[in-house]
Structure 1
């Protein structure tokens, strides 16, 4: 939900909120002054909408880990990440966490210049950082989620990968929800959009397993951008569907111990997603398959490939998906039921058995919105992760949340 702060025009600078009119007009004056100092054309000021949005969200999580809870501050204590729930031996199994990390703020400008549309967008939240503590302040640094500029059909900057359809994510209280079943990446890219068609080149990054090793190698030497194409369309029945494909070069060019590696391989994938209306309810889904997808799926639960005995890269095949049904009991009450899964075809002769194999999770919640901007709810989540050597980790979590949309 976005709130318009002001729109400058030749007659006045109007505020949407009377009680903040003076302050918002001052913002307009300051922005106008700054742009005039830099020599910006006055027409830019006269035709710019400035908006803010975001939400405040508070979570209370009661978690039961099968083999000991991760330490306080671990990412698994913030939200469900496949591969982080195997536990820490010696720690207690049950823990309680309160947080407001998911709270976010975004700022957007929209400018019309000579029949061209110029948009700037930046969004921050406070997830994943571990620089605060729970002893006194519980303060955490903001991080950039999105930062991009769009001009007509072109978008440049950081946003959701074109391979992902964020509109198809289920309405869960967990930060991602269905984490193993969906592509989920934000990164810098150059994207062209024409109607329902999108084509992008995006930041490359290859993650690999060493030969007969569960350790993760970040090559950092990608020379060819990942290329993604996607097509979005609607049906007469009101369904919103999407199909996306990706091609990427897996690359490593580095020295590890006394061995010099220099190899490439092809990675590719396809993903289908959509929203299907069922009366007032809806079904959301995503299904993805590929070789060498790695970090694009399940929050990098498995790597894109493995280095074989000859120093070459063998891509890892993986597939995953989720389905979620949302039922509206009435205008204020609703429930989502979600099932999510992921699996990888690992070659244990190359990787060993201490590597992630598959992951499953399920969710059911009850959400209540007494007024449109405010939602409170409760959610139960169960997750199970497995390795090739038979080691398993389980997580049971009950989560209470309150969310106020700005």
Structure 2
């Protein structure tokens, strides 16, 4: 459920309540019933589009049907799309920076929101920090490329298992041909790395071919 109101030229306020069923609790069953609360402020004045957001979450869980414990989750994010017509008319940069505690499940790699420590500390929200930036360049009216880099890190709690998510990073680049405004053909390479709490890590590379036709 979302309420939106314009509060000035190119400026609008959004307030939302979102379902909490995506919460990820490590070591216990998630029991959250209250919706996540989201407050966003959007500024849109070409060639700049910016959004600042804040989320508040009620994290609740129980271990083996025992007493329920709770923790407060929160996070802030700034994202945007900025045109760079001084480089090329259609080129633009996108970016996002996010920090918070108990919001991991809202991010692409979905680290845990919280961990349940049955030894006595109870439910602990896990801090996370992530960002990404991309640049799209149009070589001509039919050809364009986008390069992206992203990074995400969790500040692991003592109670988390050794194989818990610690950090990830990825980089990608593509080349896209649009023979018609409704038809797209492209190829992309993507490299990624993950590291766990115990220091174990691994990398992978993927090549992807895509085509899309819009009716």
Please, what TM-score do these two structures have when normalized by structure 1?
Answer: 0.49
> Does 2:3 match 1:192?
yes
Greater RCO, CA 8 A, separation 6+: 1
Aligned to 2:9: none
Larger Rg: 1
Any stretches of 5+ residues in structure 1 without a counterpart? Answer: 1-189, 211-216
In 2, the alpha carbon distance for the partners of 1:305 and 1:370 equals: 48
Of Structure 1 and Structure 2, the greater helix share is in: 1
Q: How well do the aligned residues superpose, as a CA RMSD in angstroms?
A: 1.4
> Does 2:13 match 1:207?
no
Deviation at 1:204, TM superposition (A): 1.3
> 1:317-332, aligned counterparts within 5 Å?
317-332=127-142
> 1:4-403, aligned counterparts within 5 Å?
190-195=1-6, 196-205=12-21, 206-210=23-27, 217-219=28-30, 221-235=31-45, 238-252=47-61, 254-256=62-64, 260-279=66-85, 280=89, 281-300=91-110, 302-308=111-117, 309-310=119-120, 312-347=122-157, 349-403=158-212
Listed one character per residue, the Cα deviations across residues 201-243 of structure 1 (whole Å, up to 9, x for unaligned) are: 1111332112xxxxxx441x222111001111124x6200000
In 2, the alpha carbon distance for the partners of 1:385 and 1:344 equals: 12
Listed one character per residue, the Cα deviations across residues 33-69 of structure 1 (whole Å, up to 9, x for unaligned) are: xxxxxxxxxxxxxxxxxxxxxxxxxxxxxxxxxxxxx
In 2, the alpha carbon distance for the partners of 1:314 and 1:222 equals: 14
Aligned to 1:159: none
In 1, the alpha carbon distance for the partners of 2:25 and 2:3 equals: 30
Deviation at 1:311, TM superposition (A): 5.7
Whether the 8 Å contact between 1:263 and 1:311 is mirrored in structure 2 is no
Deviation at 1:255, TM superposition (A): 4.8
Whether the 8 Å contact between 1:201 and 1:227 is mirrored in structure 2 is yes
Runs of 4+ in structure 1 deviating by more than 4 angstroms, as ranges, are none
Whether the 8 Å contact between 2:29 and 2:63 is mirrored in structure 1 is no
DSSP 3-state at the match of 2:105: helix
In 2, the alpha carbon distance for the partners of 1:396 and 1:232 equals: 35
Listed one character per residue, the Cα deviations across residues 344-397 of structure 1 (whole Å, up to 9, x for unaligned) are: 0002x2113221100011000000100100010111110011111222221111
Listed one character per residue, the Cα deviations across residues 124-163 of structure 1 (whole Å, up to 9, x for unaligned) are: xxxxxxxxxxxxxxxxxxxxxxxxxxxxxxxxxxxxxxxx
In 2, the alpha carbon distance for the partners of 1:364 and 1:263 equals: 44
Deviation at 1:306, TM superposition (A): 0.9
DSSP 3-state at the match of 1:352: coil
Whether the 8 Å contact between 1:307 and 1:313 is mirrored in structure 2 is yes
In 1, the alpha carbon distance for the partners of 2:137 and 2:104 equals: 33
Q: Tell me which moved more, 392-401 or 375-384.
A: 392-401
Distance change (3 Å), C-alpha of 1:255 and 1:392: closer
